[in-house]
Structure 1
């Protein structure tokens, strides 16, 4: 809700770059993060931007290559972009995307211990420290939303044992199939609240955040009662139709705010996301397109062909729909 008490849906885009460019040794962002690029977003009526971050780059560990922005310089870049978004009336969502911890099991994106790909869960070694730092940087500014972790998949690591997956999700520790010690979402939420930050905090689900069926049962306890759920959905996920969303997502949306913080499809069309957005509109659920980057739409969901806001075919469908529902 807004400060005045009005209902507010998170409608917008993801802006990828801060999670990978630094750890690959190529500076900070992928493409422009200036006023002109935000003006282009506003022309689409974007009012929320999710900003993926890299745990090790924020903390400035020795794993960040010399060419990658790291530590205080990285933090300053994040703060500057957040401030620019807020000045333009856009809600920033800060999200830990890539983190430390070696994992080579089912669904692994890499076998590297460094924060160079998506891991199944946050790590106990650095993740609480990351969230303490982010929360301290932005506490007192409730325009900023914290998304604790991108796409958990501890259920895949546990050979699709969902009970083991949800228990790991909440409690962390030693989790089936994961070699490193895990920071569960209760631990990370506690780290945020211990700073005095009262910001809205978002928590996803299992199966790369596509499964939130037992979210209400396993959600962390928030003393601020300021927790919201999120899901992700692409046309290649498991929960991809209205029957599944009605069964698994609608009960969550009925009790807590819900946003589908990544939506997309891998065919450069928009028939699938049209269904997602229509369902979300009828349930008061927000959604954010993946992604506001000028990548080749045929190799993955990309909304734009340039940072002036020229849409891909996929992006055109998203832009047209956003114009009908956003301010």
Structure 2
């Protein structure tokens, strides 16, 4: 969906349970306060690279622009960064302020993040300079995160085999479950991380419907910890909350699908959801400025756990901005300068490359154009995936253009004949379930996957909401999906 119902967004500002983050503490000399303090953290680490962050605190006179310098001591090489202009010369790394975060008052802090390789070691920098002035810091090396091994009774590692999803033993699997909205909008609105509880009891209630999959929408600015987001709901806090929810979903034997929902980039054209440059609504396409970094970070976080599925972008709609369908599909796959979109677009190929560049081989989903409701040229413009683990995603509601069996037969069936097809969102806005019953039957007859929108206690008459309580009590709309899943899975 493009938006959660606004009439219910003010209801809950749920706090998420967090797990510990790996942070190098600030150690200052005794006596006078240092001119500046720098916290350097390694938020995730893998065989040949890592994601890091710096938090700078200015303890002197206000600055109108800042530049932080430090030296890598283990052969590390900067590959990308955000919330600063990052560069590297020899061993020296520099992070210079952007136009939007250059002002740094006395006592104020600013954060920026980066991804780097470490061919020799990941030694932590020991000295930092802010605008040429030494910051009084010291640091200890951070531990390497342990790979996550799926529990024996947990969800399967999925891979594409022809037009089917199969597990490690070659058995055909279907993704059948729900969406858990909240992670895409609560943080950017400064009201929390998830909408409603994400404790064990609430996740167990999803499993009680006999769901085997939970799709988790995310916000790239919150994940990357950009300065416009409340730090309580951003960066390591946000990442750890998502990791914790993923772990709970897996503990109940369900497959977690992490999905990018809201992104950066100003779009005010046809069907714009907002005029804000920040990730406060659905944009027509992902942005090149932050989205590749987001997916590189997400992939590095979960690459050692191939039970986690990656859904690249919620509902692309470049067709609303471009003048021809061909231009829309070219924009969808290749990105760049797209007609009608004012920011540089990251195409689906860019995002597949970002994920695979980390070494992650997790299953990837890619939705088509027209809010993922049009797959008519998906096979023609299918991104190249060196891992061969790419499936098509599709969304359908009773008010969409392709919402009848004739359209499904003509546009979906050819795609489903060649690659796995997952309906990442199905729903209707009438508090009934007659339409989704038709969708589920069509998908059941072909052994395909589908996920209901959404496991949130909103008013089902203003948007498709499956539940009236997080104990799993269904709405009239949700009753259809619950009873169907229980009939399928016992």
Give the TM-score of the pair, scaled to structure 2: 0.66
| 1:229-308 superposed matches below 5 A | 229-308=392-471
Runs of at least 5 residues in structure 1 that lack an aligned partner in the other structure: none
Aligned residue number for residue 189 of structure 2:
24
| 1:22-101 superposed matches below 5 A | 22-65=187-230, 69-101=233-265
Aligned residue number for residue 151 of structure 2:
none
Q: Give 1:153 deviation, angstroms.
A: 0.2
Q: Give 1:3 deviation, angstroms.
A: 1.6
Give, in whole Å, the separation in 2 of the partners of 1:295 and 1:85: 22
Matched, 1:135 2:299: yes
| 8 A Cα contact 1:169 1:184, kept in partner | yes
1:165-188 per-position Cα deviation (integer Å, ceiling 9, x unaligned): 000000000001000000001011
Matched, 1:180 2:343: yes
| 8 A Cα contact 1:140 1:198, kept in partner | no
Aligned residue number for residue 2 of structure 1:
167
| 8 A Cα contact 1:97 1:150, kept in partner | yes
Q: Give 1:87 deviation, angstroms.
A: 1.4
Aligned residue number for residue 24 of structure 2:
none
Give, in whole Å, the separation in 1 of the partners of 2:266 and 2:204: 40
Give, in whole Å, the separation in 1 of the partners of 2:172 and 2:304: 21
Q: Secondary structure at the match of 2:402?
A: coil
Give, in whole Å, the separation in 2 of the partners of 1:44 and 1:285: 19
Aligned residue number for residue 126 of structure 1:
290
Q: Secondary structure at the match of 2:266?
A: coil
Aligned residue number for residue 116 of structure 1:
280
Give, in whole Å, the separation in 1 of the partners of 2:268 and 2:412: 30
Q: Secondary structure at the match of 1:233?
A: strand
Q: Give 1:326 deviation, angstroms.
A: 2.9
| 8 A Cα contact 1:109 1:119, kept in partner | yes
Give, in whole Å, the separation in 2 of the partners of 1:112 and 1:325: 43
Higher relative contact order (CA 8 A, sep 6+): 1
1:98-133 per-position Cα deviation (integer Å, ceiling 9, x unaligned): 000000111111010000000000000000000000
Give, in whole Å, the separation in 1 of the partners of 2:382 and 2:258: 19
Q: Give 1:65 deviation, angstroms.
A: 3.4
Q: Secondary structure at the match of 1:183?
A: coil
Higher helix share: 1
Q: Give 1:323 deviation, angstroms.
A: 1.3
Matched, 1:194 2:357: yes
Q: Give 1:9 deviation, angstroms.
A: 0.5
| 8 A Cα contact 1:45 1:322, kept in partner | yes
Q: Which structure has the larger Rg over C-alpha atoms?
A: 2
Give, in whole Å, the separation in 1 of the partners of 2:236 and 2:259: 18
1:42-83 per-position Cα deviation (integer Å, ceiling 9, x unaligned): 1100100000000000000112135x5000111011111111
Give the TM-score of the pair, scaled to structure 1: 0.98
Aligned residue number for residue 205 of structure 1:
368
Give, in whole Å, the separation in 2 of the partners of 1:29 and 1:230: 24
Q: Secondary structure at the match of 1:215?
A: coil
Aligned residue number for residue 177 of structure 2:
12
Give, in whole Å, the separation in 1 of the partners of 2:378 and 2:304: 28
Runs of at least 5 residues in structure 2 that lack an aligned partner in the other structure: 1-165
Aligned residue number for residue 155 of structure 1:
319
